[in-house]
Structure 1
Amino acid sequence: MNIKEKLSIYADVLENEPMSKHTTYRIGGCVRFYIYPKNLISLMRVLHILKEEKMAYEIMGRGSNVLWSDNFFEGAVINLDRYMNESYIEPDGTIVCQAGCSIINLAVEAANHSLTGLEFATGIPGSIGGGIYMNAGAYKSDFSNILDSVMVLVDDQIVWMKKDDLMFGYRKSSFQSHPNWVILAARLKCKKGNKEEILSLMDSRRERRLASQPLDKPCAGSVFRNPESIPAWKLVDELGLRGYQIGGAQVSLKHSNFIINANGQASAKDVRELIALIQSLAKEKYDLDLITEVEHFHCE
């Protein structure tokens, strides 16, 4: 059997798949295999097969915080969103959710059960696994504020890790320094609240996002983490770069901490060069090191 035949026993497998179909930037070259494991056993077998074949792989969510290389990747991308996306709500407000769950859908589900705590996440278009990996957040809250523990696959062992052992910080977690750890599920601790108030807050924040962010263009959300001294968007404005463009990549006129794929033809190289220019000028003029929120995959 060839590699694809082995993998196809356990997963849906796409071959020579453009990553531009799987990132919100609509950017990225082809990968050898794009894989949707059907369950936990399938995921473990897929990982074993890839290791046996000495094939590199990445585990990715909904591609909402990703800049993927323009080049062909002779490896695999594993996506948990299609099948490993179940969630359960316990009477005390605990939500147990698999890594492939949509953050937005889960926030809505929590609101419909009169649970408060996930309102900050209603505009984050990623998966639970990706949100925990990056400790995604908004409105002065993030996943670490409601997280109890994470189910992780480590060296073929499934373990529950407590939040306090995972070194969460501003857009940081232990997972970023342990790429071999696979987030499988999480326990989130929400509280009982007023359903109408929760939904009203979510609606108002949705309207605010639509008014202030370029969500009609391919992008990956905020590009830079905020330095302590100044919001990243304001720094980019002070550098005079709002609207600046390299190739098809443009600093958004609507929100200058967003870089958009302005014409649908931007390359990862265009975005990288624009990011590098902003970082260089921020360092030169203000001695500030701008750190990206966007994850770079196989970008030289």
Structure 2
Amino acid sequence: MTATKKRLTTSAMIASFADEGQRTTRAPFGRALAELAEQRPEIVGLSADLAKYTDIHVFRDAHPDRFFQLGMAEQALLGAAAGMAEVGLVPFASTYSVFATRRAYDFLCLDIAEPGLNVNVVGGLPGLTTGYGPSHQATEDIAILRGMPGLTIVDPCDSVDIEQAVPELAAAPGPTYLRLLRGAVPTVLDEYDYRFELGKAAELRTGRDVLLISTGLMTMRALQAAEQLAGDGLDVAVLHVPTIKPLDTERILREVAGDRLVVTLENHTVVGGLAESVASALAFSGTAKRVVPIGLPDEFLAAGALPTLHDRYGLSVDSIKARVRAEL
């Protein structure tokens, strides 16, 4: 009798990257924002007809008089957020990453970043976190935004990162962009004595043979791969970089010293994201070090089941382990 292969399925629009049986936290962004707003009455929330799908509905339900629904008009969303910031409010404006970056770039740049306003843009479905195709896969959002002066870019790993990042983003004087993980978000970093610090990288695991420099959900995968590679006798370190801009260049340069294999991991195209940020930091400092990038290819991606897509494009734990072994 031939064994049948288990079919991998996922919701096309809102898919979870959590492993089966993994600890998760529901809507950590919405809960953290609603809690922070209890102490800070100037915080307001906005959405472009996607409150439920960016978890800001939790804030809406807790503070209905401080929530504004702008409809499917992302340029108006960011323009309204800019106006609110001008009068002393602290807006968190949520929509999908593709709409915030591709569709409303000029409004983010000239209405928010150029005057240095405290507007926090929250982008859902970053990278490959939906089974929909290129219309919703924000595989190049970091590349689009890295060149914007004064904009802070945060790519959290898990619910712990998000919960701790929200108050720091609200307190930051200028504009920020958060790559949102929503729904049932894995809870991982509480096991590593971790504390989010804006602009700072954090060593989660030490190792002599390999250094994995990761961001976003790929830090969870890096930790899993490191643990499994230890069974092969490989000692693998993991450096989590939750803030892409400003990059913690000093810490990265310190960590890459030595003869360890250096691998970057990101849920983003290899063009213009973490890999190129690290590589340019090394080049500008005069550090001669090879960097192996693990990330999405420079192409429009397919639609389908999320686990299948992560395998196909090299974001799965098995793919990471195979790439590390091949490079040693």
Query: TM-score scaled to structure 2, two decimals?
Result: 0.28
Q: Which has the higher strand share?
A: 1
Give the number of the structure whose residues are more often helix, by fraction.
2
